[in-house]
Amino acid sequence: MKAIEKAENVSITTDSWTSRATENYIAVTAHYVNEEWRVENFVLETHKFPESHTAENLAKCLKETVETWKLERNGKGPSVTTDNAANIVKAVKETGFESHIACFAHTLNLATQRGLKMPQMERLLRRVTRVVSFFHKSTSATSALTLMHAKLGLPKHRLEMDVSTRLNSTYDMLERYVQQQAAVFAAILELKKKIKDLVTLSDDDIHNIETILQVLRPIKTVTTKMCSQTHPTVSMIHPFKEMLLKHLKQSFEDNTLVADVKRVIRFDLESRYTGTVLDYLLTASAVDPRFKRMPYLDEAGRHKVYQALQDAAIQFHLSQVEAVRIKTEPGEQSGPAIPTLPSMPTTDLENEELQGEATEPVLKTENREEAHSTLSDLFGDVFVVKVEEGLSVYDRLDAEVKSYRNDEFLVLEGDPLLWWREGGRESIPPS
Domain ranges of the chain: 2-102, 108-273, 280-319+392-427
Query: Is the pLDDT score of 425 beyond 60?
Result: no
**What does the pLDDT read at residue 346?**
45
Rounded Cα distance between 113 and 165, Å, is 9
The dihedral sign for the CA sequence 149, 153, 156, 159: negative
100: β partners: 80
Q: Pick the closest to residue 125 from 61, 170, 78 (CA basis).
A: 170
Average pLDDT value over all residues in the chain: 84
The pLDDT, as a whole number, for residue 2 is 80
pTM of the model: 0.80
Give the per-residue pLDDT at 422.
82
The 10s digit of each residue's pLDDT in 218-239 is 999 999 999 888 888 999 999 9
For residue 303, which of 236, 409, 401 has the smallest C-alpha distance? Answer: 401
Q: How sure is the predictor about 216, in pLDDT bands with cuts at 50, 70 and 90?
A: very high
Give the per-residue pLDDT at 381: 52
SS3 361: coil
- Dist. CA 221–CA 247, nearest whole Å: 13
Q: What is the pLDDT of residue 324?
A: 74
pLDDT per residue as tens digits for the range 279-291: 999 999 999 999 9
Question: Which three-class secondary structure state does DSSP give residue 285?
Answer: helix
Measuring CA to CA, which residue among 242, 131, 229, 225 is closest to residue 187?
131
Question: pLDDT-based confidence at 200, cuts 50/70/90?
Answer: confident
Return the higher-pLDDT residue of 333 and 122: 122
The sign of the dihedral angle between the CA atoms of 310, 311, 317, 320 is negative
Burial of 72 (0-12, 13-18, 19+ CB in 10 A): middle
Please report which confidence band the pLDDT of residue 39 belongs to, taking 50, 70 and 90 as the band edges. very high
